[in-house]
Amino acid sequence: MKDQDLPLVTSETLREDISRHLKLSIGKDPNHASLYDWRMSLSLALRDRVVEPWFASTRKTYEGKHKRVYYLSMEFLIGRLIEDVTINLDVEEAAVQAMADLGQDYYKVVVDEPDAALGNGGLGRLAACFMDSLATLAIPAYGYGIRYEHGLFEQHFEGGQQTETAEGWLAQRHAWEFERPEVAYKIHFGGYVSEENGKSNWNPAETVLASAYDTPIIGWKGQWANTLRLWAAKPVKLFDLESFNRGDYVGANAPERLARTISRVLYPDDTTQDGKELRLKQEYFFTSASIKDLLRRFLAEGNKIEDLHEHVAIQLNDTHPAIAGPELVRLLIDKHDFNIDDAIEMAHKCLAYTNHTLLPEALERWPEDLFARILPRHHRIIQMIQDRHLSATGTDIRIIEHGNVKMGELAFIMAHKVNGVSALHSELVKETVFADLHKAYPNRILNQTNGITPRRWLYSCNPALRNLITETIGSGWEADLENLQDLNAHLDDAGFLQAYAAAKTTNKVRLAKWLKDRNGVTLDTSAMFDIQIKRIHEYKRQHLNILETIALWNDIRDNPTANWTPRVKIFGGKAAPGYVLAKSIIRLINDVAATINNDPVTRHLLQVVYPENYNVSMAEVLIPASDLSEQISTAGKEASGTGNMKLSLNGSPTIGTLDGANVEIREHVGHENFFLFGLTAAQAQEKRGDHGYSRRAIEASPKLSRVLGQIGAGVFSNGDHHRYSDILHNLYEHDYFLVSCDFDEYFAKQREVDAVYQDVNHWTRTAAANTAGMGWFSSDRTIRSYADHIWDAKSVT
Ligand code: CJB
């Protein structure tokens, strides 16, 4: 892609646009404008600048008949957009000045924007990073998902316990989207299939409309923009006038209520699917609308349907859109006269599937009777897909088995490529969940290690480090992150290390201020900021971290005058509302914080902080300020991780296991700059066969025994002995995630971290080596690799 000059945006032109929008789009006089009004006006003025490149990109795609990538995902965890857009358009300075000229504080306006939290965690944020990289690389692409009325729930702590309330990002107008009332598809459910002249007809019982809302996604330097198209569910018939006229006012609204339910709320599950009929409907709803939409666009360009695979690559982000296979087959047969074999072959050439987890509870399965009731025609098509697969492979690997429709198997069989998200994960996919399918289709699985966009996760969130990097190695790294390796030449330069440490301090002071304003807590910014931020899950082992914290507290109390390294342990993350043990872990962290933070003997040396409602915006403040990154999952369980990449890139070395992308991070930053501990995936698996391992490990560890004894004695729960019996029982009796076995090594490694941290020069070098080594983890690299090895898609030059 050639660099084109962006139209000049000055603070004056921007200011005029903001004022015009305030008056004409928002209808407010500056004297009466609220923060919201200013934010909307700024956002609309910025959005104006995105429209031209967006149109130009679309025109080029049509003119060149370029292949498009369609990324189907239940989740897009986008966060805020104002800074994203100003940075990609390179107008940050002008925006700050324009707002100042209007008497407004740009940064206040930025933080007024609600997070678009249309996702749970890593999977959804990956989709957002991929959209950023697709636009930066000028690969024509659409992201397709659901326009949830309520994003991920808001987390509160009451007495240390998580409670949830509905999130409401759409309570105010969403500045970035364009409503497309003319783009709407009928989506059907239920009913029965009839046969007529050898043709199957689906006679559905229920129909809703999928209505499109488009958000342009602008790439680096505003050179290219793609579209995020989100579907909202609407009733086919707005209002039941007959019921209303009969005086049945509630009944009159029923069609609208029923339809809207489908796009009402994001399922708050991370890795467990809860089998709700509504979720199956959500999945079919957005997948069907997306497939219909891409077919319409393809045909409108005058293409022949036989060439579909030359122009269309469909990526399934996890199994949630796996129904895309049968849906495409159905449409090819019913609307385009394909026979079943040709239809399956065509779908196969278009589709690819990404697996994001090995946890068996996360591989979606639907009870066959439910599935057949909601999607009777697809049920039959899946049987036909299965028949062909069975006879082609001579295996007995079924999609429909023991009364379940298995979406992992469906996605695998329909896709021409299946990828894992880190090198280790992809190998484990071959050896475990899809071992049999891998034997039957040996060339199908490949690896695509995840990545993160450096624009949001360094340039935007960490101006202090951004400026130092540019001063040291020049610009260009923002879209070519491997340039960061040029920093290696400066790792022994005292001036550089001093500046690097100063940037970290700036970020720590920023975080301390943020926490003071938000929670009233005071942090010692010279203490090590030790951060674990991610969904709360047993396999991620936040409980290992808090148990180690208690053990450290004990040691400090036993010997308060020793040479301790002051630490602030910071946690962030939500638990799925129905995940009882994860919620216990949250409460334990908060209980431990309350005790430790009030201990006059230790509180200047050890502090625990857990701000509620972790989200993308909070991550943007925490990550640049982190000294130590906790990536301590049980080996073999974290498919990749992407928070691990963000933290390391921002100069926060990892203490971690050989799990997911940690393995590759350690190779890239150097073993000496990574604090490794714990069982390997193979050792962990072996350990589980060793009956009674956890009780033995606890008994062999005086530190862990003492900590668990304190929890059982109610030290952190006002004498309540039973508050944490679920966690204790779990650790003693069936510690599947091997907290007990990894504890001592983890504790010892933490003390090694303490020692290195006290040597400022050594520590800063370690941190800077992390930044220098992380260039490979840009999502630009990941997307280029998907384009080459899965999609056969090209950048438009
Ligand atoms: N992941 O966030 C989710 N949700 C799921 O349901 C399954 C997996 C995560 O996906 C990330 C992106 O690939 C991975 O980095 C992470 O390890 C995985 O847990």
Render pLDDT for 211-240 as a digit per residue (tens, 0 to 9).
999 999 999 999 999 999 999 999 998 777
Could you tell me if 416 and 553 lie in one domain?
no
The dihedral of CA 425, 431, 435, 441: what is its sign?
positive
pLDDT tier for residue 6 given thresholds of 50, 70 and 90: low
* DSSP structure class, residue 778: B
What mean pLDDT is predicted for residues 760-770?
98
CA distance 675 to 575: 27
Tracing tokens 């779990």 back to the chain, one arrives at: 730
| pLDDT tens digits for range 245-258 | 888 888 888 888 88
Q: Give the three-state DSSP class for 675.
A: strand
Whether 696 has a pLDDT exceeding 50, the answer reads yes
CA distance 429 to 640: 12
Could you tell me if 459 and 509 lie in one domain?
yes
Q: Token digits for 227?
A: 């579209």
Distances from the Cα of 661 to the Cα of 491, 573, 623, angstroms? 24, 20, 18
Tracing tokens 């198997």 back to the chain, one arrives at: 409
Could you tell me if 643 and 756 lie in one domain?
yes
Tell which residue, 343, 214, 357, 366, has the closest CA to residue 279: 366
Q: How far is the CA of 596 from the centre of ligand 1 (A)?
A: 32
Q: What is the pLDDT of residue 361?
A: 82
Tell which residue, 169, 44, 34, has the closest CA to residue 95: 44
Q: What angle do CA 200, 73, 271 make, to 5 degrees?
A: 105
75, 357, 457, best to mutate for ligand 1 pocket (most atoms within 8 Å of CB)? 357
Residue nearest to atom 10 of ligand 1 (CA): 123
Could you tell me if 362 and 469 lie in one domain?
no
Distances from the Cα of 200 to the Cα of 82, 292, 370, 385, 495, angstroms? 49, 19, 20, 16, 74
What mean pLDDT is predicted for residues 704-720?
98
Domain end marker among 404, 423, 448: 448
Report which residue type is found at 523. L
What mean pLDDT is predicted for residues 310-328?
98
Whether 632 has a pLDDT exceeding 70, the answer reads yes
Q: Characterize 439-463 residue by residue with b for buried, 16 or more Cβ atoms within 10 angstroms of its Cβ, and e for exposed.
A: ebbeebbbbbbbbbbbbbbbbbbbb
CA distance 725 to 727: 5
Q: How far is the CA of 472 from the centre of ligand 1 (A)?
A: 35
Domain end marker among 421, 448, 475: 448
Could you tell me if 497 and 527 lie in one domain?
yes
Could you tell me if 357 and 461 lie in one domain?
no
CA quadruple 358, 362, 365, 367: dihedral, nearest 10: 140
Q: Residue 265 pairs with which residues in a beta bridge?
A: 150
CA quadruple 146, 147, 152, 153: dihedral, nearest 10: -130
pLDDT tier for residue 736 given thresholds of 50, 70 and 90: very high
What mean pLDDT is predicted for residues 734-740?
97
- Whether residue 516 is contained in a domain is answered as yes
Tell which residue, 460, 495, 517, 536, has the closest CA to residue 87: 460
Could you tell me if 187 and 317 lie in one domain?
yes
The dihedral region occupied by 65, where left means phi > 0, alpha psi between -120 and 50, and beta the remainder, is left
CA distance 103 to 86: 19
Task: Work out the angle between the directed axes of helices 760-773 and 494-519 (0-180°, nearest 10).
Answer: 90
Whether 324 has a pLDDT exceeding 90, the answer reads yes
Q: Token digits for 85?
A: 């857009």
Residue nearest to atom 1 of ligand 1 (CA): 123
- Whether residue 7 is contained in a domain is answered as no
Residue 326: CATH number of its domain: 3.40.50.2000
pLDDT > 70 in the chain, percent: 99
Tell which residue, 414, 408, 401, has the closest CA to residue 444: 414
Q: How far is the CA of 71 from the centre of ligand 1 (A)?
A: 16
pLDDT tier for residue 1 given thresholds of 50, 70 and 90: very low
- Whether residue 345 is contained in a domain is answered as yes
Please say whether the beta carbons of 125 and 77 come within 8 A. yes
785: exposed, middle or buried (Cβ count in 10 Å: 0-12, 13-18, 19+):
middle
CA 748 to chain centre: 32
Please say whether the beta carbons of 614 and 533 come within 8 A. yes
Q: Give the three-state DSSP class for 661.
A: coil
Residues near 16 by Cβ (< 8 Å), separated by ≥ 6? none
| pLDDT tens digits for range 661-688 | 999 999 999 999 999 999 999 999 999 9
Q: How far is the CA of 588 from the centre of ligand 1 (A)?
A: 25
Whether 25 has a pLDDT exceeding 90, the answer reads yes
Q: What is the pLDDT of residue 4?
A: 56
CA distance 588 to 591: 5
Distances from the Cα of 254 to the Cα of 87, 285, 349, 433, 700, angstroms? 45, 19, 41, 43, 63
Q: What is the pLDDT of residue 530?
A: 99
Residue nearest to atom 3 of ligand 1 (CA): 123
- Whether residue 472 is contained in a domain is answered as yes
Q: What is the pLDDT of residue 9?
A: 83
Q: What is the pLDDT of residue 248?
A: 87
The dihedral of CA 789, 73, 456, 13: what is its sign?
positive
Whether 2 has a pLDDT exceeding 60, the answer reads no
Could you tell me if 490 and 635 lie in one domain?
yes
Tell which residue, 394, 399, 404, 407, has the closest CA to residue 441: 394
CA 681 to chain centre: 24
Could you tell me if 307 and 368 lie in one domain?
yes
In the 3-class helix/strand/coil scheme, how is 141-184 assigned residue by residue? EEEEEECCCECCCEEEEECCEEEEECCCHHHCCCCCCEEEEEEE
What mean pLDDT is predicted for residues 11-39?
98
Q: How far is the CA of 146 from the centre of ligand 1 (A)?
A: 18
Residues near 184 by Cβ (< 8 Å), separated by ≥ 6? 209, 210, 211, 212, 234
In the chain, the number of structural domains is 2
* DSSP structure class, residue 539: G
H or E stretch covering 417? strand 417-420
Could you tell me if 472 and 410 lie in one domain?
no
Report which residue type is found at 141. A
Q: What is the pLDDT of residue 5?
A: 58
Q: How far is the CA of 633 from the centre of ligand 1 (A)?
A: 13
CA distance 125 to 618: 14
| pLDDT tens digits for range 114-156 | 999 999 999 999 999 999 999 999 999 999 999 999 999 999 9
- Whether residue 712 is contained in a domain is answered as no
Ligand 1: residues whose CB is within 6 Å?
120-123, 126, 270-271, 356-357, 362, 421, 450, 638-642, 660
791: exposed, middle or buried (Cβ count in 10 Å: 0-12, 13-18, 19+):
buried
Per DSSP, the chain holds a count of helices (H) and strands (E) of 33, 24
pLDDT tier for residue 514 given thresholds of 50, 70 and 90: very high
Q: What is the pLDDT of residue 242?
A: 84
- Whether residue 96 is contained in a domain is answered as no
Q: For residue 165, count other CB atoms closer than 10 A to its CB.
A: 11
- Whether residue 786 is contained in a domain is answered as no
What mean pLDDT is predicted for residues 643-654?
99
What DSSP assignment string belongs to 321-361? Answer: TTTHHHHHHHHHHHHH---HHHHHHHHHHHEEEE-----GG
What mean pLDDT is predicted for residues 417-430?
98
Cross-sheet strand order for the sheet of 206-218: 178-189, 206-218, 225-235, 141-146, 68-72, 312-317, 351-354, 417-420, 445-447
Q: What is the pLDDT of residue 746?
A: 99
Q: Give the three-state DSSP class for 742.
A: helix
Active site residues: 356, 534-535, 540, 642, 646
**Which atom of ligand 1 sits closest to the CA of residue 120?**
2
Domain end marker among 422, 448, 474: 448
Asked which of 2-6, 342-346, 718-722 is least confident by mean pLDDT, the reply is 2-6
- Whether residue 236 is contained in a domain is answered as yes
Could you tell me if 617 and 651 lie in one domain?
yes
CA 560 to chain centre: 41
Residues near 675 by Cβ (< 8 Å), separated by ≥ 6? 653, 654, 655, 656, 749, 752, 753
Q: For residue 227, count other CB atoms closer than 10 A to its CB.
A: 21
User: What does residue 571 show for φ and ψ, rounded to 5 degrees?
Assistant: -115, 150
Residue nearest to atom 15 of ligand 1 (CA): 641
Domain enclosing residue 72, as ranges: 65-80+115-448
Tell which residue, 640, 644, 663, has the closest CA to residue 654: 644
Whether 274 has a pLDDT exceeding 80, the answer reads no
Q: What is the pLDDT of residue 347?
A: 98
CA distance 134 to 143: 10
Please say whether the beta carbons of 308 and 338 come within 8 A. no
Could you tell me if 183 and 133 lie in one domain?
yes
- Average per-residue pLDDT for the chain: 96
Q: What is the pLDDT of residue 226?
A: 98
Task: Please tell me which residue, 254 or 779, carries the higher pLDDT value.
Answer: 779
Q: What is the pLDDT of residue 253?
A: 85
Q: Token digits for 462?
A: 């960490």
Q: Token digits for 346?
A: 């065509």
Distances from the Cα of 466 to the Cα of 105, 218, 234, 322, 461, angstroms? 22, 20, 44, 40, 9
What mean pLDDT is predicted for residues 467-490?
98
